[in-house]
Structure 1
Amino acid sequence: MEEISIKPPAIQLDQLLKWQGVIETGGQAKFWVEAGKIRVNGTVVSERRKKIHPGDVVEIEGVAVWKVVAGSDR
């Protein structure tokens, strides 16, 4: 499981996926969500703009698993 560090208190799921290079557009995130391929903390996601917070675990079936952690301001 790879860790992803974010500085804001939350990030939208589609933004996180773009940032990680998994998708290029929000429409692609919609496809993954509608296909039931994305889970956050073990629960299938039903919205592409779901807020992701430090401590959350994001899993894309067959692609990757990430744990979101709070980034530092160093």
Structure 2
Amino acid sequence: MKEAVVLETEYMTLAQLLKELDIISSGGQAKWYLQENTVFVNGEIETRRGRKLYAGAMIEIPEIGTFFMKEKDKKDASD
């Protein structure tokens, strides 16, 4: 499954993404999750919960899915 995640701001941290995807229930669980599970950011293993994810970044979480960070559309910005 490949899914786009729309950024509301310039970037989102990896911990915020894990929480938004309901993989973890709080930001404090991110450190534990990344120690116990493999997460790839742009094809490289990432263990930093504070890793900034900008538009164009691809995050792969085995057995969960692949996610692509997308900039909010200009027309959506006026909402």
User: TM-score over 0.5 for the alignment?
Assistant: yes
Q: 1:1-50, CA deviations, whole angstroms, 9 ceiling, x for partnerless residues? A: 11111121111110111112121122332123113511100000021110
- Over aligned residue pairs, what C-alpha RMSD do you find? 1.4
Structure 1 residue 64, shift from structure 2 partner: 1.2
Q: Which runs of 4+ in 1 moved over 2 A?
A: none
Name the % identity.
27
TM-score in terms of structure 2 length: 0.82
Distance 1:27 1:61 in 2: 21
Instruction: Describe the SS at the equivalent of 2:29.
Output: helix
Answer yes or no: is the 8 Å Cα contact 1:36–1:44 preserved in 2.
no
TM-score in terms of structure 1 length: 0.87
AA aligned opposite 1:32: Y
Distance 1:33 1:21 in 2: 14
Q: Gapped runs of 5+ residues in structure 2? A: none
Q: Report the equivalent of 2:72.
A: 71
Moved more, 23-32 or 12-21: 23-32
